[in-house]
């Protein structure tokens, strides 16, 4: 999480890190959905990334959300959320790959 965040910061992005989906959703609400892109792991304690994405999209339908996972079954769950999830990044990934996928999401879905 911190390596990817650092790589994205070095690429010029402002980063806000949450410990889990519940905290992430709380920050999304507090920012009134004002994030350009939400990037979240799927597997997390308390509230997973898919639950967080569904809740965030219900509150802010235009929100752009990208998920990451190292688990095939989690990827399949996320890919069923067409219209909510822009992309699912398979772990492990390189820092160049995550930077590229974030840039593509920001440009293609602006």
pLDDT digit string, tens, across residues 15-27: 999 999 999 999 9
Average pLDDT, the chain: 93
Whole-angstrom Cα distance, residue 50 to residue 74? 9
Average pLDDT rounded to a whole number, residues 78-85: 87
Phi/psi of residue 70, nearest 5 degrees = -110, 5
The average pLDDT across 46-61 equals 96
Residue among 97, 25, 88, 93 nearest 59 (CA): 25
In this prediction, residues 22-43 reach a mean pLDDT of: 97
pLDDT at position 1 over 70:
no
Q: Report the distance separating Cα 42 and Cα 18, nearest Å.
A: 13
**pLDDT above 80 (res 51):** yes
What structural domains does the chain harbor?
A: 2-108 (3.40.50.2300)
């Amino acid at each position: 999480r911190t390596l990817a965040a650092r790589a994205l910061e070095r690429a010029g992005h402002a980063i806000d890190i949450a410990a889990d989906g519940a905290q992430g959703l709380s920050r999304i609400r507090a920012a009134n959905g004002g994030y350009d892109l939400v990037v979240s792991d799927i597997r997390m304690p308390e509230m997973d990334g898919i639950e967080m994405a569904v809740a965030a999209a219900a509150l802010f339908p235009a929100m752009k959300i990208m998920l990451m996972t190292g688990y095939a079954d989690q990827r399949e769950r996320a890919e069923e959320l067409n219209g909510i999830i822009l992309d699912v990044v398979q772990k492990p990934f390189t820092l160049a790959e995550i930077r590229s996928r974030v840039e593509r999401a920001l440009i293609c879905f602006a």
